[in-house]
């Protein structure tokens, strides 16, 4: 009788254990945060790369020395990607627009606009450049891109720091294309993305809806320039 009672107890415990183990994943699956269905603003396939992509530091020229932007801007306020692929950083907008390594037409039109409307921060952006700002309303540190391609913002010390973007078309520009912002996520989740169609300004990413809820402020990992 004792052996039969003990055996029954063991079966009961084992069964209860199976129930507890089985309910764990089901309880987790029912928690909030389940991925929404894929929309046009999302990448249709999961990202093949981890959300924390390796950083390949960009080494820029600043104040007569080389600096690692991924680590620190060391006091610089503006950094510009030049046509030759180099990146130059500056203390002031005036220095950034007067850089002799900028194409002459970009430099001339940019300086003219900045001089005529110095009170408008949008006119501190270089002509035919995408200007990325750390703060809303085109304020704070500025990173300027022109060439096509994906820019891993972590390489520039700008990952998850983007709050506003501006682009204005130079008089000579015909096919300026567009840009795309990316929030890279883990391999099991869909990357988020959104197109930015110029000429336009996006003054505050807190006002830009993020797929699944929230906003885009301080969420951008990759900025892609797509020339026509």
- pLDDT computed for residue 175 by the predictor: 65
- pLDDT computed for residue 140 by the predictor: 96
> Cα–Cα distance between 154 and 29 in angstroms, integer?
32
The pTM is what?
A: 0.74
- Mean pLDDT across 204-222: 95
> Cα–Cα distance between 82 and 93 in angstroms, integer?
15
CATH tag for 59-226 (out of 3.10.129.10, 3.40.50.720, 3.30.565.10, 2.60.20.10): 2.60.20.10
pLDDT per residue as tens digits for the range 100-128: 999 999 999 999 888 887 788 888 899 99
> Which band of pLDDT confidence, cut at 50, 70 and 90, is reported for residue 189?
low
DSSP codes joined into one string, the chain: -HHHHHHHHHHHHHHHHHHHHHHHHHHHHTSS-PPPPP-TTB-SS--SS-SSPPP-PPEEEETTEEEETTT--TT--EEEE-TTS-EEEESSHHHHHT-TTS-HHHHHHHHHHHHHTTT-GGGGSPTT-EEEEEETTTEEEEEEE-SSEEEEGGGGT-TT---EEEE---TT-S---EEEEEE---TTSPPEEEEE-SSEEE--GGGSBPTTSSB-TT---EEEEE--
Backbone region of residue 50 per phi and psi (left: phi > 0; alpha: psi in -120 to 50; beta: other values): beta
Residue 28 has pLDDT above 90, yes or no: no
Please report, for the chain, the start and end positions of each structural domain, with discontinuous segments joined by +.
59-226
């Amino acid at each position: 009788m004792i052996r039969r009672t003990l055996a029954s107890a063991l079966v009961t415990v084992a069964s209860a254990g199976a129930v507890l183990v089985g309910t764990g994943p089901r309880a987790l699956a029912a928690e909030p945060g389940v991925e929404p269905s894929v929309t046009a603003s999302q990448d249709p396939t999961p990202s093949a790369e981890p959300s924390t992509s390796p950083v390949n530091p960009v080494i820029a020229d600043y104040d007569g020395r080389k600096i690692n932007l991924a680590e620190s801007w060391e006091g610089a306020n503006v950094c510009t990607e030049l046509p030759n692929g180099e990146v130059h950083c500056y203390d002031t907008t005036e220095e950034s627009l007067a850089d002799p390594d900028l194409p002459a037409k970009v430099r001339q039109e940019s300086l003219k606009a900045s001089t005529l409307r110095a009170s408008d921060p949008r006119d501190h952006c270089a002509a035919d450049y995408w200007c990325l700002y750390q703060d809303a309303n085109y304020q704070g540190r500025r990173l300027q891109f022109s060439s096509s391609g994906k820019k891993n913002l972590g390489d520039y010390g700008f990952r998850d720091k983007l709050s506003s973007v501006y682009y204005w078309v130079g008089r000579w520009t015909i096919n300026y294309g567009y840009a795309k912002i990316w929030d890279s996520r883990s391999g099991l989740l869909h990357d988020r993305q959104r197109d930015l169609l110029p000429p336009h300004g996006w003054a505050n990413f807190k006002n830009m809806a993020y797929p699944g809820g929230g906003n885009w402020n301080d969420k951008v990992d990759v900025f892609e320039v797509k020339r026509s």
